[in-house]
């Protein structure tokens, strides 16, 4: 409703109003929420701030690209067709799908980090067990 009021205050109606609201969502909400997601996941995984930030750096651009592809059409529907009374239900349903994708991205990066760390241990011999002399 806040975006509706902002568009109305600028006399933006119809498709111009829809475009304005979608742009507001993508510019004001998506970037900080993406940062919060990856930093929050890092905290829940007991990562340091530096480790969490490193994951954010790796995942941010691909996630932003995917967010535009997912949320722009979703919000075009939201702001052009979904009655105000149903918007929370509609966007919440879409957000579940988006959260699944974000979790997949996070897990993929976590798996890559583990494989990379495992490869470093094998190269240095750390963690390997020497066979006992008989």
Q: Are 73 and 19 in contact (CB under 8 A)?
A: no
3-state secondary structure of 53: helix
95-107 burial code (b ≥16 CB/10 A, e <16): eeebeeebeebbe
Which are the contacts of 48, defined by CB distance < 8 A and separation ≥ 6?
42
Whether pTM > 0.95 for this model: the answer is no
pLDDT tens by residue, 64-103: 999 999 999 999 999 899 998 999 999 999 999 999 999 9
Query: Residue 131: which pLDDT band, with cuts at 50, 70 and 90?
Result: low
Note the pLDDT of residue 120. 72
Note the pLDDT of residue 66. 94
pLDDT tens by residue, 14-63: 788 888 888 888 998 899 999 999 999 999 999 999 999 999 999 999 99
Which is nearest to 116 in space by CA: 51, 48, 44, 35? 51
Note the pLDDT of residue 51. 93
Which are the contacts of 45, defined by CB distance < 8 A and separation ≥ 6?
110
Provide mean pLDDT across the span 110-120.
86
């Amino acid at each position: 409703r806040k975006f509706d009021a902002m568009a109305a205050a600028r006399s933006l109606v119809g498709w111009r109003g829809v475009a304005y609201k979608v742009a507001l969502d993508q510019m004001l909400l998506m970037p900080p929420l993406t940062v919060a997601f990856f930093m929050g996941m890092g905290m829940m995984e007991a990562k340091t701030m530096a480790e969490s930030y490193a994951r954010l750096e790796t995942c941010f651009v691909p996630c932003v690209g995917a967010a535009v592809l997912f949320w722009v059409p979703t919000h075009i529907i939201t702001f052009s067709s979904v009655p105000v009374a149903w918007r929370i239900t509609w966007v919440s349903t879409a957000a579940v799908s988006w959260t699944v994708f974000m979790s997949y991205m996070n897990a993929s990066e976590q798996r890559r980090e583990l494989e990379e760390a495992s490869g470093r241990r094998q190269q240095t011999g750390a963690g390997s067990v020497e066979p006992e002399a008989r």
